[in-house]
Amino acid sequence: SAWGPRGLTWGWLVNEVVFSPSASHWATCSDDGSVRVWSLASMELLIQFQVLNQSCLCLAWSPPSRGRPEEQQVAAGYSDGTLRVFSVSQIAMELKMRPHRAALTAIAFSADGQTILSGDKDGLVAVSRPRTGMTFHVLSDHRGAPISAIQSTNKEVRCRPPPCLAAFCPWDGALLACAGLGMHPEVVFYSLHRKQVVERIPLPFFAVSLSLSPGAHLMAVGFAERMLRLVDCESGAMQDFAGHDDLVQLCRFAPSARLLFSVAHSEILVWEVSG
């Protein structure tokens, strides 16, 4: 069978296309300030919301409301920094607010539909409640660069951060080795006497386990990537071992410092340490 595209054209730049969760409708926004809602089956224009003298730059369709599937909304961001929420079922504007001073460039609903996240061309992200029309938080981490996309996930999805690990150095009781303190995978050595970080050792991944040898200046680091790394803290030499089939949740030097035990789930490996 032959297949060909069906064209829909008008004289303004189209900035976004979004779909309803039920896949029955789709919506567009454009530089003429319009938000158009279409039937996906017939491709007919059903609703048009118009804002004069502004460009509509971004658009998001609300997720299904729990217990109220008939509530369908689209959130639109405009060039004057305003955010509007339109009810598709009521064919009306429900909310207008101005969380930004600059033009909005990205917008998204939270997974539960209770929050709207909007980003602007100056790099600010506003977190707002559509029911109250209040912005309760502004993120400035991306200041200076336009926000190009925003996505959210269900808050019930667990995302465990890497653990914060710390151990005193056996060769210097005033030295503390720490991992998982910052944004970068590394081990830092903190001097209790000098009250400052005196050394940093970069890591390929975030550490999930850490052990310091009671003998030589050796450090063992376990990773979720099923790898164990042995570090000579004096020379800086490193050696990697990949014998596990799961994350290395524990690593421990024996009191003799000649053996290193590493644990991944139900498996224990014993390593001979030389030097």
In-domain check, residue 159: no
Q: Write out the residue range of the structural domain in which residue 64 sits.
A: 14-139
Once rounded to an integer, what is the mean pLDDT over residues 113-120?
A: 95
In-domain check, residue 264: yes
Residues 203 and 104 in one domain: no
Residues 18 and 123 in one domain: yes
Domain end marker among 93, 124, 139: 139
- Could you give the percent of the chain with pLDDT greater than 90? 72
pLDDT category at 158 given cuts 50, 70, 90 is low
In-domain check, residue 153: no
Cα gap 162→264, rounded to integer Å: 16
Domain count, the chain: 2
Handedness of CA 45, 58, 15, 31 (dihedral sign): positive
In-domain check, residue 158: no
pLDDT category at 217 given cuts 50, 70, 90 is very high
Q: Which residues contact 104 (CB under 8 A, 6 or more apart)?
A: 57, 58, 77, 78, 79, 81, 82, 83, 118, 119, 120
In-domain check, residue 129: yes
In-domain check, residue 149: no
CATH number at residue 256: 2.130.10.10
What pTM was computed for the model? 0.57
In-domain check, residue 203: yes
Mean pLDDT over the full length of the chain: 90
